[in-house]
């Protein structure tokens, strides 16, 4: 091959290496992006998306306490928190971490996490806000108050974008991007699931799931399935095919009952669409976990839903009953019990017992990249999942111990959330106000 041929050969492979299709394929495989994610990312070059997402992920995975800038907000804030903006995916749109929090003064706030300033606040509401969810893809927040009024906020204007009065009490809300656009689902005390178009709150359907309250709603990673459960009743939990809940009320939604009672929690396997792990109680004492793979089979005139149990186990007697759990894509279950963090396979093999906390673990945040555990002494520990499920499976990243001051005396961490550039936690008092603590990585 002559010099001209070699140059042409190298130029060809350079074009292949910079192909937008190649980098999009790498992004979809690495982060298991669905169609909605790809549309949300816009038209920017996929190589840029890959490199930026990989850089942010690695920075958070190797962060130390000194790598964060910390901002604190004292006052009656932090009763319920959720991200308003989406920072797990990098776009060409300007974005910064914004977190929503409900105050005890019956107001909804939006905080700039990097600056520690109020970005926006709603008027004082006539009734106390009891539920908060956000849809970062649209940059909107949804609240439910004690008078059963649902409101959608864009956190820019004073008034809500839309309102809907629910006829019965509601205990569960989820907002997500479906194949047909953004939706809100609400479970009420009579066992009905309401599906609304967002942000208009136009009612799409109303489906009877149980004869009792819907306490848990969980959407699968790309919105194909919705898990529905009541925690206090002796009835089987169900999974619904989401597309059936997006049809007019005269159609019969497809669902499948998972055959066991006393479900206490559920977690979809990240980056998979059809696998769910349930935490259950047996005989009022024993607790365990059961994992199912969901299937759909289409014939000429109908679709049939099925569920195959692929693993289950009961916890040993010496492990106290957990109240928080999560699952990673390598089929590992993580949960807190007392001051310990336990890591099991879905089949019941104990992989690790982590002992980084001195007091009882109060809450867990589990996502495909990391785990946050908070304890009653105000401490927060950050772990990172090892790629490919390699030992030690869950790697300790950093320990964020909040220094006790006069303002934080007697506080405990009630919850913590994070994205690829920030961590937000709430320090709560039993009788006084809460404190919002916001960490952002330097250089973002």
SS (H, E, C) 260-298: CCCEEEEEECCCCCCEEEEEEEECCCEEEEEEEEEEEEE
Average pLDDT rounded to a whole number, residues 241-258: 84
Average pLDDT rounded to a whole number, residues 395-423: 74
Average pLDDT rounded to a whole number, residues 415-433: 79
Q: Which two tokens stand for residue 349?
A: 């093999």
Mind listing the pLDDT tens digit for each residue in 188-239?
999 999 999 999 999 999 999 998 899 999 999 889 999 999 876 667 899 9
Q: Is 191 left (phi over 0), alpha (psi -120 to 50) or beta?
A: left
Distance between CA 183 and CA 177 in Å, rounded?
A: 6
Distances (CA, A) of 400 to 81, 99, 412: 19, 19, 13
Structural domain contains residue 219: no
Structural domain contains residue 412: no
Distance between CA 129 and CA 109 in Å, rounded?
A: 12
Give the position of tokens 């898990």: 227
For 243, which DSSP code? H
Three-state SS for 200?
A: coil
Distance between CA 115 and CA 71 in Å, rounded?
A: 7
Structural domain contains residue 396: no
Structural domain contains residue 159: no
Average pLDDT rounded to a whole number, residues 383-392: 90
Q: Which two tokens stand for residue 276?
A: 């769910």
Residue 331 main-chain phi, psi, to 5 deg: 65, 45
Mind listing the pLDDT tens digit for each residue in 56-84?
888 888 888 999 999 988 766 655 788 77
Structural domain contains residue 58: yes
Q: Quickly count: other Cβ atoms within 10 Å of residue 217's Cβ.
A: 21
**In this predicted structure, what is the pLDDT of residue 195?**
96
Give the residue numbers spanning the domain of 54.
14-62
Q: Which two tokens stand for residue 175?
A: 């907002």
Domains: count for the chain: 1
Distance between CA 311 and CA 322 in Å, rounded?
A: 19
Average pLDDT rounded to a whole number, residues 366-385: 90
Q: Which two tokens stand for residue 123?
A: 């008027």
**In this predicted structure, what is the pLDDT of residue 78?**
56
Strand (E) or helix (H) holding 117 = strand 117-121
Of the ranges 248-252, 332-336, 378-382, which is most confident?
332-336
pTM above 0.85, yes or no: yes
Q: Quickly count: other Cβ atoms within 10 Å of residue 269's Cβ.
A: 22
The angle subtended at Cα 406 by Cα 64 and Cα 382, nearest 5°, is 20
Structural domain contains residue 18: yes
Three-state SS for 147?
A: coil
- Is residue 409 pLDDT above 60, yes or no? no
Spell out the residues 6+ positions from residue 430 whose beta carbon is closer than 8 angstroms to its own: 410
How does strand 412-418 pair with strand 394-401?
Answer: unpaired
- Tell me if 322 sits within 8 A of 287, measured CB to CB: yes
Structural domain contains residue 194: no
Instruction: Give the CA radius of gyration of the chain.
Output: 23
- β-sheet bridge partners, residue 350: 344
Structural domain contains residue 435: no
- β-sheet bridge partners, residue 386: none
Sheet containing strand 216-219, strands side by side: 216-219, 225-229, 238-241, 255-257
Using CB atoms within 10 A of its CB, is residue 7 exposed (0-12), middle (13-18) or buried (19+)?
Answer: exposed
């Amino acid at each position: 091959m002559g010099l001209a041929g070699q140059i042409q050969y190298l130029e060809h492979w350079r074009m292949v290496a910079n192909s937008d299709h190649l980098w999009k394929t790498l992004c979809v495989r690495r982060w298991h992006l669905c169609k909605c994610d790809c549309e949300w990312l816009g038209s920017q070059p996929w190589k840029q998306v890959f490199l930026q997402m990989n850089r942010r992920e690695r920075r958070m995975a190797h962060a130390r306490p000194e790598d964060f800038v910390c901002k604190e907000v004292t006052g009656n804030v932090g009763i319920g928190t959720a991200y308003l903006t989406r920072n797990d995916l990098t776009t060409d749109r300007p974005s910064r971490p914004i977190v929503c929090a409900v105050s005890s003064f019956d107001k909804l706030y939006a905080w700039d996490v990097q600056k520690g300033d109020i970005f926006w606040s709603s008027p004082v509401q006539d009734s106390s806000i009891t539920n908060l969810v956000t849809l970062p893809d649209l940059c909107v927040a949804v609240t439910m108050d004690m008078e059963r009024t649902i409101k959608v906020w864009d956190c820019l204007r004073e008034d809500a974008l839309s309102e809907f009065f629910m006829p019965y009490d509601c205990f569960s809300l989820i907002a997500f991007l479906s194949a047909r656009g953004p939706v809100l689902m609400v479970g009420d005390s009579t066992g009905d699931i309401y599906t609304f178009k967002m942000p208009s709150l136009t009612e799409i359907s109303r489906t009877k799931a149980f004869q009792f309250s819907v306490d848990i709603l969980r959407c699968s990673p790309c919105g194909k399935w919705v898990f529905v459960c009541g925690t206090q009743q002796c009835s089987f939990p169900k999974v619904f095919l989401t597309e059936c809940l997006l049809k007019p009320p005269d159609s019969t939604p497809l669902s499948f009952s998972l055959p066991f009672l006393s479900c206490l929690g559920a977690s979809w396997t990240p980056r998979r669409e059809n696998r769910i792990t349930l935490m259950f109680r047996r005989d009022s004492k024993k607790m365990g976990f059961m994992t199912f793979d969901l299937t759909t089979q289409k014939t000429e005139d109908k679709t049939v839903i099925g569920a195959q149990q692929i693993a289950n186990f009961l916890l040993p007697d010496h492990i106290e009953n957990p109240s928080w759990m999560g699952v990673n894509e390598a089929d590992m279950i993580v949960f807190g019990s007392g001051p310990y963090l336990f890591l099991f396979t879905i089949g019941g093999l104990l992989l690790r017992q982590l002992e980084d906390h001195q007091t009882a673990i109060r809450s867990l945040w589990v996502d495909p990249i990391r785990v946050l555990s908070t304890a009653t002494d105000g401490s927060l520990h950050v772990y990172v999942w090892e790629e490919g499920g390699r030992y030690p499976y869950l790697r300790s990243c950093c320990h964020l111990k909040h220094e006790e001051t006069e303002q934080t005396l007697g506080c405990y961490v009630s919850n913590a959330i994070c994205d690829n550039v920030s961590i937000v936690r709430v320090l709560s008092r039993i009788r006084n106000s809460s404190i919002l603590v916001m960490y952002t990585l330097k250089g973002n």
